[in-house]
């Protein structure tokens, strides 16, 4: 039986959004984003691993305890990027038996169960190494590049690359499933594009291009809904949803 474990990257401090607590705890219609995410991940992992900052760990732990939600908490000592956050999964008891990792950013409130189910289904049906749902949007922050035949080439973070986003393009939604032994070794390698040009942080999406180059199976599935592309960076991002 394939072992899939969930990983929530939730070390964001919330300072850019003007919050005094981790942004993953921001309430949407009375329920913190983190608990909404735990709810939709429950069919895949009843005890997800959550990456937290040292400053936010207590608040996250108290939120989970109050809601009666079980989780493994691991620390990301410094906010040095999503790639580093994903590598912290190795500190979780869940890591040892995880063949596949279901990864979600901790600031995406509106991911739908149907999208996760479809992504996971495609991932296993096609025996992929990395699968992500995508959406066509205006001015996409991240950009999926494909060949003329539709195969994925890479996923760019436009800001980190120092390029302007196109008027219209295909982007990820902060949700992925991947084979652990394909992705983690790449995150550990000192690859030339490991760190962003703007922030110098250890990224995550750069691994997609390297997986493709090394003949791993990568698939971007255009199934995401418009609302799933919403994330919390600043409070205005959630205007009309709270």
- Which one, of 33, 27, 30, 31, lies nearest residue 9 by Cα? 33
DSSP secondary structure code for residue 24 in this structure: G
pLDDT of residue 15: 62
Whether 131 contacts 117, CB under 8 Å: no
pLDDT of residue 83: 97
Burial category of 240 from C-beta neighbours within 10 Å (exposed 0-12, middle 13-18, buried 19 and up): exposed
Integer CA distances (angstroms), 13 to 33, 49, 59, 153, in order: 14, 18, 11, 32
What are the structural domains, with CATH classification, of the chain? 4-233 (3.90.550.10)
- Which one, of 179, 178, 177, 173, lies nearest residue 155 by Cα? 173
Contacting residues for 194 by C-beta, under 8 A, at least 6 apart: 83, 202, 203, 206
Whether 10 contacts 228, CB under 8 Å: no
Pairing of strands 218-221, 72-75: unpaired
How many Å apart are CA 106 and CA 241, to the nearest integer?
A: 17
Beta bridge partners of 201: none
Integer CA distances (angstroms), 117 to 34, 40, 123, 176, in order: 19, 10, 10, 12
Element (H, E) at 241: none
Whether 155 contacts 143, CB under 8 Å: yes
Cβ count near 164 (within 10 Å): 9
Element (H, E) at 123: helix 113-125
pLDDT of residue 124: 97
Per-residue pLDDT of the chain (242 residues; tens, 9 = 90+): 469 999 999 998 766 667 889 999 999 989 999 999 999 999 999 999 999 999 999 999 999 999 999 999 999 999 899 999 999 999 999 999 999 999 999 999 999 999 999 999 999 999 999 999 999 999 999 999 999 999 999 999 998 888 888 999 999 999 999 999 999 999 999 999 999 988 899 999 999 999 999 999 999 999 999 999 999 887 777 776 76
Q: What is the pTM of this model?
A: 0.95
Read off the tokens for 45: 């992992």
pLDDT of residue 198: 87
pLDDT of residue 42: 97
Read off the tokens for 99: 């063949």
């Amino acid at each position: 039986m394939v072992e899939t474990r969930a990983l929530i990257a939730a070390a964001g401090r919330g300072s850019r959004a003007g919050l005094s607590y981790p942004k993953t705890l921001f309430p949407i219609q009375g329920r913190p984003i983190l608990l909404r995410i735990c709810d939709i991940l429950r069919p895949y992992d009843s005890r997800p691993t959550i990456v937290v900052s040292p400053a936010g760990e207590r608040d996250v732990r108290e939120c989970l305890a109050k809601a009666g939600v079980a989780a493994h908490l691991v620390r990301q000592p410094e906010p040095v990027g999503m790639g580093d956050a994903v590598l912290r999964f190795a500190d979780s008891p869940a890591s040892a038996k995880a063949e596949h990792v279901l990864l979600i950013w901790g600031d995406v409130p509106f991911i739908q169960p149907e999208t996760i189910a479809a992504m996971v289904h495609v991932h296993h049906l096609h025996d992929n190494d990395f699968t992500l749902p995508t959406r066509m949007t205006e001015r996409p922050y991240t950009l999926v590049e494909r060949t003329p035949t539709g195969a994925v080439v890479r996923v760019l973070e436009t800001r980190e690359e120092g390029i302007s986003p196109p008027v219209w393009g295909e982007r990820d939604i902060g949700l992925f499933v991947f084979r652990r032994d394909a992705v983690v070794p790449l995150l550990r390698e000192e690859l030339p594009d490991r760190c962003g040009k703007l922030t110098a942080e250890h990224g995550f999406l750069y691994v997609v291009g390297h997986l493709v180059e090394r003949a791993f199976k990568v698939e971007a599935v255009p199934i995401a809904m418009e609302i799933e592309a919403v994330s919390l960076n600043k409070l205005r991002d959630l205007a009309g949803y709270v």
